[in-house]
């Protein structure tokens, strides 16, 4: 039987055609305005079937220079081995991605791209879609950041070392110059006082005051020397220096301090012993100044590959922002020392719950200043 109205029967087909055109135009527009390079290949022949304007701009080759070529026949992908290997992997796994692939533009510039490609089936034809993003600027910035961090790291090591050397130098000057002058002053004073041997109580009282002042100046000088560079650290070693420091802390501030050392000789070199000593010194000073604690604890554990240093108190604790990256100099100095040694520091503290500082430092692979 004949079809009575062929035009009417074609209406759905026309609608479908129109819908297809709308869809094609919509997706072509997406393809042409995308802010990433897009490359479409035939997955069986490796021939390029389409390239979007963004990729043409990025690589400097014309549309015609891409079309119909096998991917490794076009300049930017001219590393034939790499392109063929990528293509083979795409055929077997359906997916490849690189986060830093070097490509050369037609003008000869080397650029870094992020490259993601997938294989999919399009009406029986296997297609490979490659999305290509120029990340040259980002990679340069990342490299510059890494380099600058490495420089900062070196600078920190240099500054910390220079600071320790200065402190040692000042401690020696103070001890040798001021210390010797004070000793001479005391001897002259004692000789003079003996000559005077007065019964005048006013003069005797002034002589006693001068004697007292000389004694307290000698003590203050000795204390400053110790503070600048604990002689014990050099003479008797780290373990003795840290024990003496903990005892002095208790004597001076009336806060009992447990010292738990799990070795009699940690075998630390100068950089490591000075750094750990300084961290303990700063932490105990902080406990004395800020914590209002009734008890303090310092522990050092040798855990084979690394050392675990713990300093804790049962005082008032510190506010949340101070346990983070807040730039206060005592804490900053501690963080820098730990960083310089390739270690980690964790501060656990809260109002009313005391403060617990844990530092772990690798024993090996440390930079030499
Ligand atoms: N053990 C502690 N207990 C309570 N508060 C602390 C403790 N250690 C540090 N703080 C707080 O953290 C701040 C920063 O410490 P720090 O960087 O050493 O600077 P500074 O001691 O010069 O104030 C201190 O001012 C104090 O408020
Ligand atoms: Mg401090």
User: Does a structural domain hold residue 5?
Assistant: no
pLDDT digits (tens, 9 = 90+) for 215-271: 999 989 888 888 887 777 878 889 999 999 999 999 989 999 999 999 888 888 888
Place of tokens 């490509």: 103
Q: What is the pLDDT of residue 344?
A: 95
User: Does a structural domain hold residue 167?
Assistant: yes
Integer Cα distance of 173 and 366 in angstroms: 31
Domain count, the chain: 3
250 and 355 together in one domain:
yes
pLDDT digits (tens, 9 = 90+) for 260-305: 999 888 888 888 999 999 999 999 999 999 999 999 999 999 998 8
Q: Is the CB of 290 under 6 A from ligand 1?
A: yes
Place of tokens 């690798």: 362
End-of-domain residue from the set 196, 229, 262: 229
Nearest to 218 by CA among 245, 192, 183, 251: 183
Integer Cα distance of 183 and 59 in angstroms: 81
Task: Determine the average pLDDT of the residues in 113-131.
Answer: 89
Q: What's the CATH code of the domain at 67?
A: 3.30.450.20
Predicted TM-score (pTM) of the model is 0.64
275 and 168 together in one domain:
no
End-of-domain residue from the set 213, 229, 245: 229
241 and 366 together in one domain:
yes
User: Does a structural domain hold residue 29?
Assistant: no
pLDDT digits (tens, 9 = 90+) for 22-42: 888 988 899 999 899 999 998
Structure tokens of 364? Answer: 């090996």
Nearest to 263 by CA among 232, 301, 206, 307: 301
Q: What's the CATH code of the domain at 292?
A: 3.30.565.10
End-of-domain residue from the set 100, 117, 134: 134
**Ligand 2 mean position, distance from CA 356 (Å):** 15
Regarding beta strands 110-122 and 95-104, do their DSSP bridges make them parallel or antiparallel, or are they unpaired?
Answer: antiparallel
Range of the domain at 191: 137-229
276 and 164 together in one domain:
no
**Ligand 2 mean position, distance from CA 290 (Å):** 8
Q: Is the CB of 313 under 6 A from ligand 1?
A: yes
**Ligand 2 mean position, distance from CA 331 (Å):** 7
191 and 215 together in one domain:
yes
User: Does a structural domain hold residue 207?
Assistant: yes
């Amino acid at each position: 039987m004949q079809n009575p109205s062929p035009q009417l029967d074609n209406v759905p087909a026309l609608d479908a055609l129109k819908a297809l055109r709308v869809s094609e135009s919509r997706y072509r527009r997406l393809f042409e305005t995308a802010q990433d390079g897009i490359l479409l290949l035939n997955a069986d022949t490796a021939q390029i079937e389409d390239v979007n304007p963004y990729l043409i701009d990025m690589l400097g080759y014309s549309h015609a220079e891409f079309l119909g070529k096998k991917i490794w026949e076009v300049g930017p992908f001219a590393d034939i081995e790499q392109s063929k290997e990528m293509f083979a992997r795409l055929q077997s796994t359906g997916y490849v991605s690189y986060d830093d692939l070097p490509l050369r533009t037609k003008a000869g510039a080397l650029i870094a791209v992020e490259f993601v490609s997938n294989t999919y089936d399009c009406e029986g034809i296997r297609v490979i879609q490659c999305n290509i993003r120029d990340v040259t600027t980002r990679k340069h910035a990342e490299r510059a950041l890494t380099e600058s961090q490495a420089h900062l790291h070196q600078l920190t090591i240099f500054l910390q070392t220079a600071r320790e050397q200065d402190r040692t130098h000042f401690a020696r000057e103070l001890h040798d110059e001021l210390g010797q002058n004070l000793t001479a002053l005391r001897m002259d004073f004692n000789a003079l006082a003996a000559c005077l041997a007065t019964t005048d109580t006013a003069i005797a009282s002034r002589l006693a005051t001068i004697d007292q002042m000389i004694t307290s100046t000698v003590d203050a000088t000795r204390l400053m020397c110790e503070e600048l560079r604990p002689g014990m650290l050099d003479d008797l070693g780290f373990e003795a220096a840290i024990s003496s420091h903990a005892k002095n802390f208790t004597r001076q501030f009336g806060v009992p301090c447990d010292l738990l050392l799990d070795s009699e000789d940690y075998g630390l070199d100068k950089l490591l012993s000075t750094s750990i000593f300084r961290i303990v010194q700063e932490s105990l000073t902080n406990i004395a100044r800020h914590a209002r604690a009734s008890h303090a604890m310092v522990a050092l554990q040798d855990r084979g590959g690394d050392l675990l240093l713990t300093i804790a108190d049962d005082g008032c604790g510190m506010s949340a922002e101070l346990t983070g990256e807040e730039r206060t100099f005592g804490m900053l100095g501690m963080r820098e020392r730990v960083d310089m040694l390739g270690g980690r520091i964790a501060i656990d503290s809260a109002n009313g719950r005391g403060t617990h500082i844990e530092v772990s430092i690798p024993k090996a692979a440390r930079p030499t200043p």
